[in-house]
């Protein structure tokens, strides 16, 4: 549960997708075996720390939807409000910010794609993160960031305090 006057974002890049069939459109690429394991690991990580979203905003690409399904399988305490947004597909930081400002729950998970997710993560934080994994934001990387704001509409870049950063072991 996020305290009153705070908002928490769980910002996730989709897990590793399959390139086995080059005829498949980019939007329709599924997760590969490693990606499925990593997404489940992320769900376990979030559940073990009580970091369960109350609202999820997810790109419409198959790999982001499958990432969420795996995470949701481990996050069993709540069933968040789920929104799929075509705007998140390969979105830049400006679009990600616009979409996030429409959220209403105190704890929101956003699932999208690089390079936009990595750029957005960097612009959200008040302090630079020196971790090399943070800079490249590998597949299934997840930033948990807190903001001292009353509503998502009040969000400004550079206000966030990093609570945690997850990268899968797989």
Q: Please report which confidence band the pLDDT of residue 166 belongs to, taking 50, 70 and 90 as the band edges.
A: very high
> Domain spanning 7-17+27-166: which superfamily?
Phosphoglycerate mutase-like (3.40.50.1240)
User: Edge to edge, what strands does the sheet with 142-147 contain?
Assistant: 81-85, 55-59, 107-112, 7-13, 142-147, 161-166
- Convert the pLDDT of each residue in 57-86 to its tens digit: 999 999 999 999 999 998 766 789 999 999
Contact 29, 89 (CB under 8 A): no
Helix (H) or strand (E) holding 84: strand 81-85
- Convert the pLDDT of each residue in 7-51 to its tens digit: 999 999 999 999 888 888 989 999 999 999 999 999 999 999 999
Q: Please indicate, yes or no, whether the overall pTM of this predicted structure exceeds 0.85.
A: yes
């Amino acid at each position: 549960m996020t305290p009153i006057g705070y908002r928490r974002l769980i910002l996730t890049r989709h897990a590793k997708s399959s390139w086995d069939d080059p005829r498949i459109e980019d939007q329709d690429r599924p997760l590969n075996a490693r990606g499925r394991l990593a997404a489940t690991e992320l769900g376990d990580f979030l559940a073990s720390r009580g970091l369960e979203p109350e609202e999820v905003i997810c790109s419409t690409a198959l790999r982001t939807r499958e990432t969420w399904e795996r995470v949701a399988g481990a996050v069993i305490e709540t069933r968040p409000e789920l929104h799929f947004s075509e705007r998140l597909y390969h979105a830049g930081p400006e679009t990600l910010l616009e979409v996030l400002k429409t959220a209403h729950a105190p704890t929101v998970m956003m699932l999208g794609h690089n390079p936009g997710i990595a750029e957005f993560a960097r612009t959200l934080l008040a302090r630079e993160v020196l971790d090399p994994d943070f800079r490249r934001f590998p597949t299934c990387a997840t930033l948990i960031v807190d903001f001292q704001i009353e509503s998502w509409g009040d969000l400004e870049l550079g206000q966030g305090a990093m609570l945690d950063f997850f990268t899968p072991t797989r």
